[in-house]
Amino acid sequence: MLLRIKKIKFKNLIFVFLSFLALLLTSCQAIKTNSKTIFCFDTVVNITLYNDENASKHIDEISEICYEISRYASDYNSFNSSSIYDLNTNRSIKTNQIVKEMLESALRLKKDTNGYFNPFIGNISRIWKKAIEDKALPNDEDIKAELIKMNNTTISITDDNITLVGDGNIDLGAYAKGYAGKKIKEYLETNNIKYYLIDLGNSLMLCGSKVEASLSLGLKIPNTNKYFAKANVKDICASTSSSEYQYFIADGNKYHHIVSPFTGYPLNNYDEVCVFSNKVEDIDAYSTAIYLMNKDTAVKFAEDKKIDLVLYKEKIIYKSSGCDYIEEI
């Protein structure tokens, strides 16, 4: 039995399917599944609850959490004159709690990852998105100029206003879904919801269980329909980063959307990075940051943060010792 969740873009595609053990545990009981698919964070989000009498209500509430955070986090559209787009455009906005919390956490994660995650990379991200669209390398001088702007931009957050100081722009694309995951997890716990699968668009999943059974995530080999591993998980979050869907080839090199804030250029250390942790707010940013680290730095970082990590480059080149729930295929 295969349960497939279709995605559109961003990071890596994950298929979700029930393990043989799960089938044995649940075959003698009826499982009622309630699901809803929405579009936000520029991708498809799937919300599934199992055996929940109030599933429709809860799914609608979770959808609203996603919609609201996605609108505030957008760097392409205005929302209540207080979105990231409004901040980048006007350089100052009135403080609202959601944007304030996201930016404070983004600054914490910048420090936490030693700068591998940098929320001020907005202009450089825009350059590479345009390059991918045009399938043409950007001007190196433009990259260098934007790196200087990025490194000389700070942010002022008060109870009244949020202000960008400098000429860099904010991009929360590698963090906003983590913040949404945190708020969804709080909602699930408040309402004592244990049986769920929240798929926030390829890069981040909140995994509860399907009644008494664990779920099994198939980790897909990029640009194929094959899997390199499966992870039997329960009450954990999973995040992946890869360049599968946003890239182009020039002069035999692959250029994609995961850009180093140190060089201004994409790196190809891995085909895919997979992170497993209960730190739902952080792991989306962590997986992006790790994608830009060399192997030794990535392994040390994962050990320090006490997260489980899989690095894949044509084969699994590293798997955390605690990943006994991950089986190679």
Percentage of the chain beyond pLDDT 90 is 81
Structural domains in the chain?
14-70+175-328 (3.10.520.10), 72-165 (1.10.3980.10)
With CA atoms as reference, report the closest residue to 276 among 201, 219, 226, 314.
Answer: 219
CA distance 263 to 61: 41
Distances (CA, A) of 63 to 35, 72, 100, 198, 275: 11, 14, 21, 10, 24
Please state the pTM of the whole predicted model: 0.90
CA distance 304 to 299: 9
Pick from 82-91, 92-101, 103-112, 210-219: least confident? 210-219
Q: Radius of gyration over alpha carbons of the chain, in Å?
A: 20
User: H/E element holding 190?
Assistant: helix 176-190
Q: How crowded is the C-beta side of 272, counted as CA atoms within 13 Å?
A: 29
Q: What contacts 75, CB < 8 A, 6 or more positions away? A: 83, 84, 85, 88, 122, 169, 170, 171, 172, 173
Angle (CA) 129-134-138 rounded to 5° is 65
Tens of pLDDT along 184-212? 999 999 999 999 999 998 789 999 988 87
With CA atoms as reference, report the closest residue to 166 among 99, 118, 234, 203.
Answer: 118
> Above 80 in pLDDT, residue 30?
no
